[in-house]
A = this chain, B = another copy of it.
Amino acid sequence: MATKETIQILIEGLYSGNKRSLSKLISFVELGDKHSEKIYSSVKDRLGKAMVIGLTGPPGAGKSTLSSSLVSTYRKKSKSIGVLAFDPNSPFTGGAVLGDRVRMQEHYLDSDVFIRSFSNRGASGGLAPVAYDAINLLDAFGFDVILVETVGVGQTELDVINVVDIVLGVVVPEGGDSVQSMKAGLMEIADVFVVNKSDRPGADRMVANIKSTMTLLQNEDVKILKTQANKAIGIDHLAEVVYKIYMDRNFTGLLDSIRQKRRVAAMLDWVRVDLNNKIDLISSQNVDGAAISEIYDKVCIGDLNPRTGANLILGAMLK
């Protein structure tokens, strides 16, 4: 655990452009370090300059390749860029998808690029607050663009997308299944759809599918673009479209209100994580308080209605 003094030194390092300091501070927020408040109040006045792009979609859509290609495009424009990659979790795949990160290796040597991978932290979720804090640190460091990459399969991942300025939804032409599984949430929140691997058959049909869905959702403003990230085709155009949306939102004030929502989303996700952790403690019978333990046992053997048990537990927990 860091002392306040360590944090102060790291923040000074951050301000002087030291990436090691940045890395260490991210590790602290990732651990839910109690110095979060200190970090926030130190960086608060430097926030709001970076354009924060979220990039999500089903596994296999080529998100990492697209990220890598976008990084190249922004570097061509002399923009510095930070990438935060939230990988899918599974107790047994661990970081299998980390292999994709290899494609980004060309960028690791570039001093105006910063890449950080995160692994999920299990069912208790909590990616959104970590993403939020990490974005702030990159923003305070001075990156022009921040790219947050996540797999859009579960609620936890969608929560991460709540903390960005602009959402890119990435799909592939043949992704019938993908679109179905996206429907649960992504369809409603993407600002730009990217049909990647668009040299494959079905790309135009996929564009048409998304278009008709957006009409149904009365969401006609959503842009739909085709890319081939592995050949850098369509990426410059994508970056232009994203920038235009960002500037429009900045001009109309929408950006401010998005960022207000982002802060609240991070806060509420944190509340949710903490409450879920409390439930997990009950679940593992790792709870002090004879009252809850007794309710647990009665429900366990079938003596007490689970719903009644839930009400009793809530009564014991809440003010």
Knowing A129-B307, A306-B264, the reply to whether A316 touches B319 (Cβ < 8 A) is yes
The complex places the Cα of A270 from the Cα of B301 at a distance, in Å, of 18
Interface of A is mostly: helix
**A245 interface contact, C-beta 8 A:** no
The complex places the Cα of A306 from the Cα of B264 at a distance, in Å, of 7
**A268 interface contact, C-beta 8 A:** yes
The complex places the Cα of A37 from the Cα of B267 at a distance, in Å, of 35
Knowing A263-B306, A279-B272, the reply to whether A153 touches B155 (Cβ < 8 A) is no
The complex places the Cα of A266 from the Cα of B300 at a distance, in Å, of 10
Contact A299 B263 (CB under 8 A): yes
A268 surroundings in chain B (CB, below 8 A): 279, 282-283, 310
Knowing A155-B155, A260-B301, A318-B317, the reply to whether A306 touches B266 (Cβ < 8 A) is yes
Contact A302 B92 (CB under 8 A): no
Contact B306 A59 (CB under 8 A): no
Contact B90 A260 (CB under 8 A): no
**A230 interface contact, C-beta 8 A:** no
**A313 interface contact, C-beta 8 A:** yes
Knowing A154-B155, A307-B129, the reply to whether A188 touches B91 (Cβ < 8 A) is yes
A282 surroundings in chain B (CB, below 8 A): 268, 271
| CB-contact partner of A183 in B58, B90, B216, B318, under 8 A | B90
Q: A79: shortest Cβ distance to chain B, in Å?
A: 24
Size band of the interface chain A makes with B: 35 or more
The complex places the Cα of A129 from the Cα of B41 at a distance, in Å, of 42
**A49 interface contact, C-beta 8 A:** no
**A213 interface contact, C-beta 8 A:** yes
A275 surroundings in chain B (CB, below 8 A): 272, 275, 279, 314
Which stretch (A1-9, A110-118, A171-179, A236-244) binds chain B? A171-179
**A23 interface contact, C-beta 8 A:** no
Contact A59 B177 (CB under 8 A): yes
A133 surroundings in chain B (CB, below 8 A): 307
Contact A305 B41 (CB under 8 A): yes
Contact B299 A36 (CB under 8 A): no
| CB-contact partner of A59 in B37, B180, B264, B299, under 8 A | B180
A154 surroundings in chain B (CB, below 8 A): 154-155, 184
The complex places the Cα of A291 from the Cα of B176 at a distance, in Å, of 47
Quick one: which of A215-233 are within 8 Å of B by CB?
216-217
Q: A280: shortest Cβ distance to chain B, in Å?
A: 9
**A104 interface contact, C-beta 8 A:** no
A263-B299, A271-B314 given. 4 additional CB < 8 A pairs? Answer: A91-B188, A92-B187, A263-B302, A275-B279
User: Residues of A at under 8 Å CB distance from B?
Assistant: 32, 36-37, 40-41, 44, 47, 58-60, 88-93, 123, 129, 132-133, 153-155, 175-178, 180-181, 183-184, 187-188, 213, 216-217, 259-260, 263-264, 266-268, 270-272, 274-276, 279, 282-283, 296, 299-302, 305-310, 313-314, 316-319
